[in-house]
Amino acid sequence: MKRLVVDVAPGEYTITRLPQGELPGIRTSGLVSVTTTADGMSVICPSSAAPPSEDSRPGWRLLTVRGPLEFDLTGIMAAMAGELAAAGVTILAVSTYDTDHVLVPATDLDRAVEALREAGHEVA
């Protein structure tokens, strides 16, 4: 596995579940991920832009692999997930066209950064 460069985004993120329906208007410069299934809609976004919901989980920090990454690269998410799992850090993974993102509980950010650095990755 080649050495990754991982950026820690500023601010806190929230993971929210909404009922299936209209996409909320979220305006932000941070990562926004919306996934819909038959069970509902999941939204990941900066906490400052999170839509109101009884099913919200604030308190996440975003780690982004500096990209763009080529589609034929393998093992990036597996390596990060394995290294963070070994450190006892819960993750929520999101991939986009250009790169991979991992959200970790804000309370575990220092442990996550340390685990990635110990594995030989650069964390900015």
pLDDT in tens, 89-121: 999 999 988 999 999 999 999 999 999 999 999
Q: How many CB atoms neighbour CB 20 within 10 A?
A: 10
Strand partners, 65: 6
Cα distances from 46 to residues 4, 59, 82, 90, in angstroms, run 24, 10, 25, 18
- Whether the pLDDT of residue 60 is over 90: the answer is yes
Strand partners, 60: 13, 105
Q: Which 8-state DSSP code applies to residue 29? A: S
- Whether the pLDDT of residue 22 is over 70: the answer is no
Q: Which 8-state DSSP code applies to residue 36? A: E
Q: How many CA atoms, within 13 angstroms, populate the side-chain half-sphere of residue 2?
A: 8
pLDDT score, position 26 = 78
pLDDT score, position 106 = 98
- Whether the pLDDT of residue 1 is over 80: the answer is no
pLDDT score, position 118 = 96
pLDDT score, position 120 = 95
| pLDDT tier for residue 30 given thresholds of 50, 70 and 90 | confident
The CATH number of the structural domain formed by 5-123 is 3.30.2130.10
Strand partners, 61: 104
Please state the pTM of the whole predicted model. Answer: 0.86
Per DSSP bridges, beta strands 122-123 and 5-8 are parallel
- Whether the pLDDT of residue 8 is over 90: the answer is yes
Query: Domains of the chain: which residue ranges?
Result: 5-123
